């Protein structure tokens, strides 16, 4: 994770020294959950000032549907069953998302308008992700950095 992708901080503190950039739609980020020491990796899908909505897992930004190109589920047979990917896989704004049509209680959400400094984060596995649909928008102060690589950790026990 690149902790200096957005803000340069004083080492061993949360004091900001320099703003480098802001999270952009599609960025994979590590976020500290509000009021907790827990961390999560989620994708930025809404930025300050935007209105975000989901209808049957279709992302809508400022009233415009974000195109999703269907992908062949068979091409994802390599994903371990324990990850429980949905029955549909698509390419949305250049990254893969998965869900099962009509299944998740969170397939519809919003609309919600993001205030200054707020971001809407979604998991790529829309059926099995706790994200801004459950926590609400996330303050930029809780975004720890941009994820630049995810390394496999091997089978879970």
Whole-number pLDDT of residue 155: 54
Whole-number pLDDT of residue 7: 78
Burial bucket for residue 113 (CB in 10 Å: 0-12, 13-18, 19+): middle
Whole-number pLDDT of residue 30: 92
> Is 154 part of a structural domain of the chain?
no
pTM equals 0.87
> Is 23 part of a structural domain of the chain?
yes
Say whether the peptide bond before residue 129 is cis (omega within 30 degrees of 0): no
Whole-number pLDDT of residue 73: 85
> Is 115 part of a structural domain of the chain?
yes
The domain tally of the chain equals 1
Tokens representing 75 are 């091409």
> Is 155 part of a structural domain of the chain?
no
Contact by Cβ (8 Å): 83, 98: no
> Is 137 part of a structural domain of the chain?
yes
* CATH code of the domain covering residue 37: 2.10.109.10
> Is 45 part of a structural domain of the chain?
yes
Q: Do you know the residue count of the chain?
A: 157
Whole-number pLDDT of residue 157: 45
Q: Is the dihedral of CA 57, 105, 143, 2 positive or negative?
A: negative
> Is 105 part of a structural domain of the chain?
yes
For 77, phi then psi, to 5°, come to -65, -20
pLDDT average per 10 residues of sequence, the chain (157 residues): 76 75 92 83 96 95 95 86 86 90 89 97 91 93 84 55
Q: Which domain range does residue 23 map to?
A: 7-146
Interstrand relation of 95-99 and 109-113 (parallel, antiparallel or unpaired):
unpaired
> Is 59 part of a structural domain of the chain?
yes
């Amino acid at each position: 994770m690149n902790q200096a992708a957005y803000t340069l901080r004083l080492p061993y503190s949360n004091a900001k020294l320099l703003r480098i950039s802001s999270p952009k739609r599609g960025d994979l980020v590590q976020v500290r959950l509000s009021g907790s020491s827990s961390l999560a990796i989620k994708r930025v899908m809404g930025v300050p000032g935007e209105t975000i909505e989901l209808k049957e897992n279709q992302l809508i930004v400022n009233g415009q549907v974000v195109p999703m190109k269907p992908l062949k589920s068979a091409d994802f047979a390599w994903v371990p069953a324990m990850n429980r990917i949905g029955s549909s896989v698509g390419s949305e704004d250049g990254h893969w998302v998965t869900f099962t049509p009509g299944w998740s209680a969170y397939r519809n959400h919003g609309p919600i308008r993001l205030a200054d400094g707020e971001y809407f984060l979604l998991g790529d596995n829309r059926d099995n992700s706790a994200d801004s649909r459950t926590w609400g928008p996330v303050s930029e102060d809780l975004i720890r950095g941009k994820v630049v690589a995810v390394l496999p950790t091997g089978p879970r026990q």
